[in-house]
């Protein structure tokens, strides 16, 4: 296992890293970038006292927890260096470069160079959660007092596409509302096994997770959902969510009727 000291990329470092990613994508082949990580012309050292063990994360929760702890213990050094981890492109892009051998994978574990924003933190707050390490850290940190409620979004490996993570991380209204999170877990999490109902991520089944997100957003326009209990929000949901709330999600073969007939 590689051990590093925390650093962050300068803009030149980010540019250089991006070029390496492009080359790997073009050649469909991984090459080492280890010299990049501690190049004094491309990186700035941050914290020298503690080591940063580069290892594979078992899932997004493990990833979020790891970076939460590392950044928390280093908070005074980060502050002294004027580095705020929230939205810090150089820091999170350097983390992605350090963990790259574990990140250049597709959902099946094959070599894959995905969209740049998976490794280079986007400057847009609407897309930053797509960064493979920053997204889990953000969601884990946002739900620090109720980690169980976001577990369904953080249970997959960081490189595995997760519609649950995508839906949750992109909807701040839900992430910041404990009652909404409880309701979402009630609908889409199997209470016996703790895993997400496979039907939940299917767009062709009524009342799925994506539909929950869009209905919630519409209801939030007209109702003060942040101040309502779980049961009060539940009472506002259309009938299509009832089977989910009753713990009887629609059968996988049950598809919602097509609008074009």
Partner 1 sequence: MRPTVANLNFTSRKRIERSHVRISGTTAGNEGYFILDRFDVSEYEFPYDAQLFVESWTGKYGYQRFDVGRLDRLDLAKRHDFASNDLPNATFRIKVVAPGSSGKILGDADNIPVEIGGRPPSILPIDPVDLDNRVWWLEIDEETGPVLQMNQRLPDYQQIARDIEFRATVMPSVVYQIALWVASSTSSGEADAKVRRWEKALTFPSVDLSKVNVEDEDSRQDFATRAAKAFAKHHDLFEKFIISLDRNQQ
Interface with partner 1 by CB under 8 A: which residues?
Answer: 8-12, 14, 82-84, 86-91, 123-126, 128-129, 138, 141-142, 172, 175-176, 215, 218-219, 221-228, 232, 235-239
User: How far, in Å, CA of 147 to CA of 152, rounded?
Assistant: 10
Question: Min. distance of Cβ 213 from partner 1 in angstroms?
Answer: 12
CB closer to partner 1, 14 vs 21? 14
Question: Min. distance of Cβ 231 from partner 1 in angstroms?
Answer: 11
CB closer to partner 1, 94 vs 104? 94
Phi, psi of 50 (to 5 degrees): -115, 145
Phi, psi of 130 (to 5 degrees): -75, -10
Question: Which tokens go with 22?
Answer: 């492009």
CB 177 within 8 A of CB 140: no
CB 54 within 8 A of CB 99: yes
> Under 8 Å CB-to-CB from 43, ≥6 apart: which residues?
7, 8, 9, 10, 13, 36, 37, 94
Question: Min. distance of Cβ 138 from partner 1 in angstroms?
Answer: 6
User: How far, in Å, CA of 139 to CA of 162, rounded?
Assistant: 14
> Under 8 Å CB-to-CB from 110, ≥6 apart: which residues?
none
Burial class of residue 87, CB neighbours in 10 A (0-12, 13-18, 19+): middle
Question: Min. distance of Cβ 143 from partner 1 in angstroms?
Answer: 9
CB closer to partner 1, 192 vs 227? 227
CB closer to partner 1, 155 vs 169? 169
Burial class of residue 161, CB neighbours in 10 A (0-12, 13-18, 19+): exposed
Question: Min. distance of Cβ 89 from partner 1 in angstroms?
Answer: 5
CB closer to partner 1, 104 vs 181? 181
CB closer to partner 1, 130 vs 197? 130
With H, G, I as helix, E, B as strand and everything else as coil, classify residue 82: coil
The position carrying tokens 């847009």 is 124
CB closer to partner 1, 12 vs 204? 12
Question: Min. distance of Cβ 35 from partner 1 in angstroms?
Answer: 20
Question: Min. distance of Cβ 102 from partner 1 in angstroms?
Answer: 23
């Amino acid at each position: 296992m590689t051990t590093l000291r925390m650093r962050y990329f300068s803009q030149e470092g980010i540019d250089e890293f991006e070029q390496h990613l492009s080359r790997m994508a073009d050649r469909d082949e991984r090459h080492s970038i280890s010299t990049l990580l501690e190049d004094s012309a491309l990186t700035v050292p941050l914290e020298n006292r503690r080591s940063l063990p580069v290892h594979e994360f078992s899932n997004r929760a493990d990833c979020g927890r790891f970076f939460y702890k590392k950044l928390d213990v280093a908070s005074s050094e980060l502050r002294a260096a004027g580095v705020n981890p929230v939205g810090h492109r150089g820091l999170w892009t350097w983390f992605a470069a350090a963990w790259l051998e574990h990140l250049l994978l597709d959902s099946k574990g094959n070599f894959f160079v995905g969209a740049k924003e998976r490794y280079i933190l986007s400057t847009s707050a609407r897309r930053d959660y797509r960064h493979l390490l920053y997204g889990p850290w953000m969601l884990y940190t946002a739900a620090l007092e109720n980690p169980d409620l976001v577990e369904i979004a953080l249970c997959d490996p960081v490189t595995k596409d997760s519609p649950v993570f995508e839906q949750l991380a992109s909807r701040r209204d839900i992430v910041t509302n404990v009652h909404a999170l409880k309701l979402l877990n009630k609908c889409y999490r199997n209470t016996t096994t703790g895993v997400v109902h496979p039907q939940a991520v299917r767009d062709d089944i009524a009342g799925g997770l994506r539909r929950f997100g869009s209905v919630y957003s519409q209801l939030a326009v007209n109702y003060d959902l942040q101040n309502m209990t779980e049961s009060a929000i539940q009472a506002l949901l259309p009938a299509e969510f009832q089977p989910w709330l009753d713990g009887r999600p629609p059968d996988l073969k049950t598809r919602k009727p097509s609008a074009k007939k």
